[in-house]
Amino acid sequence: MKQIGINGGTFDPIHFGHLKPAYEVMQNLGLDEVRFIPACQPVLGKIPLASAQQRCEMTALAIQNIDGFVLDDIEVKRSGPSFMVDTLSALQTCFPNDSLVLMLGADVFNDFSRWHQYEKILTLANLVIMGRPGAVLSEQGIERELWEARKVVQFSAKTGQIMKQDVSLIDLSSTEIKQNIQQNNLGADSLPQVVEDYINQIHLYERQTNE
């Protein structure tokens, strides 16, 4: 049985704050691969400035030389709202003998009960919670109950377990990166160079349209 990491997100744009923690989790847990899944139409959060195709292209460029990282455009091909429960159901059909490991930042997990059919997600995958800057697990509510009931230090079942994994703290956000691009103040340690080149080539993010 393979363990397949599932790393979904808007990736508008993808940056080292997405890449480095995912790589550390892959190495620490011995995942066979990590599938990066750009959302077609995010259900929570801001509407992306880049198109779904552009975000797929940036993701492909960012991971092209990293063994074990795979672009999966399943949500873009499906179109419509990107519900993770639908994505995991489809992936379980594609990989019936393998274990799916959904990778979430601690800040994202704290809103897990807002996700569509969140209970079903735990019947389709295990969860690994990645520590991020300034984020701690909820002290109360459904997320705390889930954590207390399902926490493990090592996955021993195919689905339904939750593990916390400390990762390097990289204080980056896609919103901040877009603002820095507009101000011509992008740091060298924000994006892979190939992604920055792509953004510059097509003049992406030069105007903020969803404020």
Query: Would you state the pLDDT for residue 103?
Result: 98
Given a cut of 80, is residue 124 above it in pLDDT?
Answer: yes
**pLDDT greater at residue 15 or residue 207:** 15
- Looking at the domain that runs over 3-171, which CATH code has it been given? 3.40.50.620
For residues 186 and 174, what is the distance between their CA atoms, to the nearest angstrom?
12
Given a cut of 70, is residue 209 above it in pLDDT?
Answer: no
Domain boundaries, the chain: 3-171
Given a cut of 90, is residue 169 above it in pLDDT?
Answer: no
Band of pLDDT at residue 44, cut at 50, 70 and 90: confident
| Residue 147 burial (10 A CB sphere; 0-12, 13-18, 19+) | middle
DSSP one-letter string for the chain: --EEEEEEE--TT--HHHHHHHHHHHHHHT-SEEEEEE-SS-SSSPPPSS-HHHHHHHHHHHHTTSTTEEE--HHHHH-SS--HHHHHHHHHHHSTTSEEEEEEEHHHHTTGGGSTTHHHHTTT-EEEEEP-TT----SSHHHHHHHHHHB-SS--SSSS-EEEE--------HHHHHHHHHTT---TTSS-HHHHHHHHHTTTTSS----
- C-alpha distances (whole Å) from 42 to each of 73, 82, 115 are 14, 6, 11
The predicted model gives 149-164 an average pLDDT of 96
Band of pLDDT at residue 208, cut at 50, 70 and 90: low
Task: Give me the percent of the chain exceeding a pLDDT of 90.
Answer: 79
C-alpha angle 158-77-87 in degrees, rounded to nearest 5: 20
What phi and psi, each to the nearest 5 degrees, are found at residue 150? -125, 5
Query: Would you state the pLDDT for residue 210?
Result: 43
Given a cut of 50, is residue 211 above it in pLDDT?
Answer: no
pTM attached to this predicted model: 0.93
The predicted model gives 71-87 an average pLDDT of 95
**pLDDT greater at residue 193 or residue 210:** 193
Average pLDDT over all residues of the chain: 92
